[in-house]
Amino acid sequence: MLRTHTCGELRPSHLDETVTLCGWVDRVRDHKGVIFIDLRDRWGKTQVVIGPDASTNVMESARAARSEWVLSATGRVGRRPEGTTNPKLVTGEIEVVCSNLEILNEADTPVFQPGSMELPGEEVRLKNRWLDLRRTDMQNNLFLRSRIVKIMRDHFDELGFIDVETPMLGRSTPEGARDYLVPSRLEHGAFFALPQSPQLYKQLLMIAGLDRYVQVAKCFRDEDLRADRQPEFTQLDVEMSFVDAHDVTGVIESLVVKTAKDILDLDISLPLPQVTWTECMERYGHDAPDMRFGLEIVDLTEVTKNSDFRVFKSAVESGGRVRGILVSGAAEKFSRKDLDGLTAMAVEAGAKGLVWLKLDSSGSWTGPVAKNLGSDVAENIRQSLSAKPGDLALISADSFDVTCKTLHALRKYLGKELELYDENTMHVSWVIDFPMFARDEETGNWAAMHHPFTAPHPEDVEKLTSNPAECRAIAYDLVINGSEAGGGTIRIHDQATQQKVFELLGISPEIAQERFGFLLDALASGAPPHGGIALGIDRWVMLFGHLNSIRDVIAFPKTQRASDLMTGAPGLVDTKQLGELGIRTVIPPKPAADTSTQGK
C-alpha cells in the first residue's frame, strides 16, 4: 500500500509515529515560510505541515501544490500547538510534520472546488460529477446508501430469503410506463425490453417453489421525470409464498423499525397506521399524503349545494364537489399578493380558480366572493370548517379529481411554508385497498391501478364482471413523509382470474397467449398464493437522509430530460451499428419558426 493510514484515521494515540498519507489537496496555506496542506480522502482530512526544517525538494513540492493535486505525504504525527486545534475535524488535535512529499499527479484548475461552501448550479455539478463526488456531503450520501442496503440485505437474510438475480433482457409487456427497448442483432425487427421491475420473474420463482425471494434490482422506465424519479432506479424486490397482505407488510414494518433506529436513532411504533385509498383521497387529496401535519380536506358539497354562488352551484350540478381546507390563524399572514400566488398554484394544478375567505373578528367572512355566498351558506361553511376569527379558508369547486390535485398542492405548499412539521420527524404509514382499475385518460379503457397481476379482494371477485369500478385490489403502499417509499400487492395465482383481468384490460386471449403464455401456463401448473413488494432504495436513502432529490443519492444520475451530462448519453451511433441491428432512424424535422405578426 502507498499509505499507512487514511486521512481521517490519525488521533493523539498515534503521536510520534511515522506515517504516510495519500489524498487530494483540499487547501494550501503559506504562513511566513511554513506551509500547511489539508490533505483529503474519503475518510476525512489531515493537516500536513511543511516547516523550515524540511528539505529543499519537499519545500519546492509543497509550494508547487495546488487544489486537487494528488499527493503522498510522509512524516511524524505531532500534536497541534495550543490554540490551533480544530474541533470540526476528528483529526483536529494532530498534524503530520512532513519529511517527504511526493506529487502523484497534478490537476488542472478545477471547474469548482469540492471543498468550497459555494457550489455552482446542478448542471455544472452533473457535468463534472467526479468532482462533485469528492465533496464530503455527496460521499456521505453514498455511505448512507451503502449502510441502508446492507441493513436490507441482512434483514432478509436473517428471515431466510434467497437472493436471486433476474434477467435484464426480457420482453416488452404492458406494465404502465414505456419500456426501454434493446434491438436484437440476430432477429431483426425484434426487441428485448429492459425490466420496469422483475414482476413476472419473481412470480415465476414463487411458482418454482423458492418460497422467499429478494433482490436489489435495477429497473428502467421511460417516463416523465421529477425530483424523486429517474429513468433507471434501484429497488429492493421482495416476494413470498403462502402469505397474505398482513404477512408482507409485517416483514417490511420490522425493516422500517430497524432502519430508523440504526440510521436516525429513531423509534418507530408498530403496527404502522393503515389508511384506505378512499380515505386518503377524501382527507388529503392524494394517495401518498404527508401526515406530519393537519390541513385535512373538508367536503362542503352538501352545505353549498343550494348556494346561488355560480361557481359552487355549477360544480355541484355537474356532479363535481366543493371542498376546502382551513388554515388556522393565517388570515393576517397572507396578503392579497400571497393569495393571488395560491390561486395561480391552484390553476397550475388544473383548477379554474380558487375561492379564499378570511373570517374577521365579528365572525363574518371577507374576500372577493364573500357577499355572493348568502348568509346561510356562509354560516354552513364556517361550521363545517370549525373556523374561528383570524382563520383562512381555501375552497376548490370542480370535479373530484381536480379538487384533489388542487388542495393537495396547496396543502403540501402550506405545510412547508408555514413550518407545520419538524423536518427531522418521520411519519410512516400504509395506504391500502386501492381500486383495482382506473380509466385510461387517453383511451377511456380500463387500466390496472398497480399492474395486471394484482389480486382482487376475495369479496370483490364477482365485481370483475358486474362492476369493475368498485373492485378493490389487495394492494398496499408504504408512505413516508408524503412520498411513496414502496408498493406491493398480493398476486393473482389462478389462471382463470388472470385471464379475466387481461380481458378487462383489453388484452385479447391471442395477445395474452403471445405475451404472457408462459405465465398462464405456470399458473396452471400449481401456483401457490403469493405476494410481495418493491421498496424504492433511492427514495429510502433520500428520505432517511432528509434530502430533497434522489439525484443526490445516486452516483451518476440523469437529468430531468433523461440525459447524462457527464458522458453525453444518449448519443448517436454509427451507421454500421444500426445496419447490424436492422434499424433505420427517423428524426422528425424541427417545427418551423412562427413568422406571423399581430394584426396581419
Q: Which three cell numbers stand for residue 242?
A: 403462502
SS (H, E, C) 8-51: CCCCHHHCCCEEEEEEEEEEEEEECCEEEEEEEECCEEEEEEEC
Q: Which three cell numbers stand for residue 41?
A: 480522502
pLDDT of residue 1: 79
Contact 38, 25 (CB under 8 A): yes
pLDDT digits (tens, 9 = 90+) for 369-422: 999 998 899 999 999 999 999 999 999 999 999 999 999 999 999 999 999 999
Q: How confident is the model at residue 242 (pLDDT cuts 50, 70, 90)?
A: very high
The rounded Cα 119 to chain-centroid distance in angstroms is: 23
Contact 372, 309 (CB under 8 A): yes
Q: Which three cell numbers stand for residue 221?
A: 422506465
pLDDT of residue 600: 38
Is the model's pLDDT at 282 over the cut of 90?
yes
Contact 89, 66 (CB under 8 A): no
Asked, colleague to colleague, whether 12-105 and 151-275+428-535 share their fold, the answer is no
CATH architecture assignment, domain 12-105: Beta Barrel (2.40)
- CA distances, 163 to each of 24, 237, 256 (Å): 38, 10, 20
pLDDT digits (tens, 9 = 90+) for 188-219: 999 999 999 999 999 999 999 999 999 999 99
Decide the pairing of beta strands 94-105 and 44-50.
parallel
Contact 500, 464 (CB under 8 A): yes
Q: Which three cell numbers stand for residue 204?
A: 415465476
Domain 293-417 top-level CATH class = alpha beta
**For the residues of 313-359, what is the DSSP string, one character each?**
HHHHHTT-EEEEEEETT-TTT--HHHHHHHHHHHHHTT-S--EEEEE
Q: How confident is the model at residue 174 (pLDDT cuts 50, 70, 90)?
A: low
Q: pTM of the prediction?
A: 0.91
DSSP state of 510: H
Contact 264, 549 (CB under 8 A): no
DSSP state of 589: P
Cell 387481461: give the residue. Answer: 502
CA pair distance 308, 317, nearest whole angstrom: 12
Domain extents in the chain: 12-105, 151-275+428-535, 293-417
Cis bond upstream, residue 271 (ω within 30):
yes
pLDDT digits (tens, 9 = 90+) for 417-466: 999 999 889 999 999 999 999 888 777 789 898 899 999 999 999 999 99
How many helices and strands in the chain, by DSSP H and E? 17, 22
Instruction: Return mean pLDDT, the chain.
Output: 94
The domain defined by 151-275+428-535 folds into: BirA Bifunctional Protein; domain 2 (3.30.930)
Q: Which amino acid is at 574?
A: D
- Torsion from C-alpha of 136, 139, 141, 146, nearest 10 degrees: -150
Q: What is the CA radius of gyration of the chain?
A: 30
Is the model's pLDDT at 598 over the cut of 60?
no
Contact 215, 167 (CB under 8 A): no
pLDDT digits (tens, 9 = 90+) for 549-561: 899 999 999 998 8
The rounded Cα 20 to chain-centroid distance in angstroms is: 41
pLDDT of residue 176: 65
CA pair distance 214, 85, nearest whole angstrom: 48
